[in-house]
Amino acid sequence: MHLHRVITGLVALPFLVYLIYKGGIYFSVLIAAVCVLSLWEYFRIVFNSQDKSSSHILLIIISLCFGLALVFAAYKRSSSSMLIGTLYSYLIVCGFFSLTQFKYDSLILQKISTHIQGMVYISLSLALLVMIRQSPYGATWIFWIIGIIFAGDIGAYYVGRAFGKHKLCPSVSPGKTIEGAVGGLAANMLLGSAVKFFFFPNLPWRESLLMFVCMGIAGQIGDLVESEFKRAAGVKDSGTILPGHGGILDRIDALLFAAPVAFLFKRFVLTVG
């Protein structure tokens, strides 16, 4: 298993670095693919592959199409209003769909609510990554965000193994500890501060440190939320597409919660750089 993880990482890393560096349509297509695969894994988990009715399959297709629309709206327009308009259009379509299906499916509102949750949780977060990449210094910001999240994962893992005694959320993820969470936040701040010092010296320190903390907390919540989905469904991994790593959602769970935080700070708080 460990060898599979290493091989997958060595193969995927240069490819990801290249697409992030290139940006534009290259990065957007990557994010679009990640969006579709993540939504598919999400639907498989939350619905547990039990509902195979034609109406639900159609709803999944609608959600996948609007997920792609959100990503490419971010690429073409890089406008928050465009994302809001696309998301609102999705809500209207879902509302109309529920009216046509309620007579035949008493659970349709619950299903649609779950789909909307996935659209915000996955598609909107990934679309915001595209907007960040399209903005000034976008490539550096993307590497920065991913680095902060990765550092937090590493810090939480090793500090938790060495010093972890107090469970963080045992009902959801028994292996995670409070000590590990603190170690993860420390790693978030160390990596974030190092990149800020060398690449963004003009950014204010106070707001930058606040961003690192908020991203770290959001990332850990994202990790736990995905674990909650899997525990409720009784599955270990979100998928099998990445040998040794599980599914796409298993790799980006923290990023999905941290990316909107980074976007908001870049757009409204850290106005320099």
**pLDDT 10s digits, 52-71:** 788 889 999 999 999 999 99
Instruction: Determine the pLDDT at residue 273.
Output: 45
Q: Tens digit of pLDDT for each residue in 188-235?
A: 999 999 999 999 999 999 999 999 999 999 999 999 999 999 999 899
Q: So where are the chain's domains? A: 1-134, 137-273
The per-residue pLDDT for 244 is 65
Give pLDDT, residue 114: 95
1-5, 78-82, 147-151, 225-229: range with lowest mean pLDDT? 1-5
Structure confidence at residue 4 (pLDDT): 64
Nearest to 247 by CA among 148, 122, 141, 64: 122
Q: pLDDT category, 242, cuts 50, 70, 90?
A: confident
- With 70 as the cut, is the pLDDT of residue 92 above it? yes
Reported as a single tens digit per residue, the pLDDT across 201-210 is 999 999 999 9
* Model pTM above 0.75: yes
